[in-house]
Amino acid sequence: MFADKIGMCLAIPGKIIKIKNQLAIVDFQGMKKEINISLISAKIGDYVMVHAGFAIEKMDKDNAKEIKAYLKNEV
């Protein structure tokens, strides 16, 4: 997934749609992937920044628009 675009410090925002213990299914604009959420406190519906298989921080809902624009233009 995005393998050619992944650098060590590049992270990607997505939305949590399912949670099971430490793992969540995160939706990256239609592409869904299992992500480890043990580094944050998150719930379904949260937007998170994902790096190397882990959500590293939650993003404000107010930024949702910006995230979507980011996904369209940058990833």
Partner 1 sequence: MKYKKILKNIQEKAKIIRRPIRLMELCGTHSETIAKYGIKNILPKNIKMISGPGCPVCVADQSDVDIITGLALSGIPIACYGDSANIPGNLGSLENARQQGAEIYIVYDISEALKISKKNPDLIFWGIGFETTAPMTAWGIQNGLKVFSSHKIFPPAMRALLRNNKIKIDGFINPGHVSVIIGAEIYKKFKIPQVVAGFSATDVIKAIDMLLDQITKKEKKVENEYARLVQKEGNKKAQKLISKVFEAKNARWRGLGEIKNSGLKIKKKYKNQDAEFIHRELIAKIKKNIKNKPSVCHCGEVLQGIIEPKNCPLFRKVCTPDNPQGACMVSREGSCNVEYRYG
Tell which positions 53-72 bind partner 1, by CB under 8 A.
53-54, 56-57, 59-60, 63, 66, 70
Question: From the CB of 24, what's the least distance to partner 1, in Å?
Answer: 13
How far from chain centre, in Å, is Cα 73? 16
- Between CA 42 and CA 57 the distance in angstroms is 9
Q: Does 7 bind partner 1 (CB under 8 A)?
A: yes
How far CA 66 is from CA of 23, 38, 61, 70, in Å, comes to: 25, 25, 10, 6
Residues that bind partner 1 (CB under 8 A): 1, 3, 6-11, 36, 38-40, 49, 51-54, 56-57, 59-60, 63, 66, 70, 73-74
